[in-house]
Amino acid sequence: MQSNESGWIVQAQEGDANAFTSLVEAYQKPVYNLCYRMLGNAEDAEDAAQETFLRAYQSLKRFDPNRSFSTWLLSIAAHYCIDRIRRQRYRIISFEELPYLDVADDSPGVETRLSHKQEQEQIQTLLNNLNPVDRAAMVLYYWYDLSYEEICQELGLSISQLKSRMHRARLAMAQKWNEKKTSNLMPERITT
């Protein structure tokens, strides 16, 4: 994969669009997932992922081969999504508005699938409440196993800034989760 990737990159840098399509096929999933986690719906995620690859293709000549291609690609996607969220600020998405998620779920049971979907929606709602940069940091940390140094490099933050952002995001998510749990429990308490 690694040697194939280097070959595709070199060919794509020479203007071979087919070689870049191979890179698109190889990285569509991580890029799409990042866009989905950032934007919260399938339509926007598809559009953002396509735009990410287009931007990467256009600036491929400036790509430094000493860097990791996947991290570079994720950085483009994260920045694009951050800008996009800033442009469409304050759009609040409720649980009901969230579309169906294309979760690759191997479990056969309908109940398991449903609960899986609900969990995903809950996580997505918690992420949607975060500031875009905090959201990008959380997604890169939890879904891509990037180190703090890598996240700092990709998002242009210092370690202390990242630490404080992550702390703020974790606290906000935990508090939101608590609020949701409490509001879900309320009707039961009243009826019992």
Partner 1 sequence: MTHQPYLDWMITATDELSDPLTPEQRIALNEHITQCDSCRQVGEAWQAVELKMQSAPMLSPSAGFGKRWQARLETSQKLRQEKQNYRLLGILILGAFLMLAALTTQAMPLIKSPFLLLWTWIYQLVQTFYYLEFFRVLFISIFQTAIEVIPLAWLILFAGFLCQLSVVWFIALRLTTSPWRVKL
Q: Which residues bind partner 1 (CB under 8 A)?
A: 15, 17, 21, 24-25, 28-30, 32-33, 36-37, 42, 45-46, 49-50, 53-54, 57, 101-105, 119-120, 122-123, 126, 138, 142-143, 147-148, 159, 163, 166-167, 170-171, 173-175, 177-178, 181
**Cβ at position 18, least distance to partner 1 in Å:** 9
Euclidean distance between CA atoms 174 and 168, whole angstroms: 10
Euclidean distance between CA atoms 150 and 25, whole angstroms: 24
Minimum CB distance to partner 1 smaller for 103 or for 186: 103
Burial class (CB in 10 A: 0-12, 13-18, 19+), 71: middle
Euclidean distance between CA atoms 37 and 7, whole angstroms: 30
Specify whether the CB–CB gap between 155 and 78 falls below 8 A: yes
Minimum CB distance to partner 1 smaller for 30 or for 82: 30
Minimum CB distance to partner 1 smaller for 29 or for 91: 29
Minimum CB distance to partner 1 smaller for 62 or for 66: 62
Specify whether the CB–CB gap between 104 and 79 falls below 8 A: no
**Cβ at position 24, least distance to partner 1 in Å:** 5
SS3 28: helix
**Cβ at position 171, least distance to partner 1 in Å:** 6
Specify whether the CB–CB gap between 88 and 41 falls below 8 A: no
SS3 146: coil
Minimum CB distance to partner 1 smaller for 13 or for 28: 28
**Cβ at position 130, least distance to partner 1 in Å:** 12
**Cβ at position 143, least distance to partner 1 in Å:** 7
Amino acid residing at 133: V
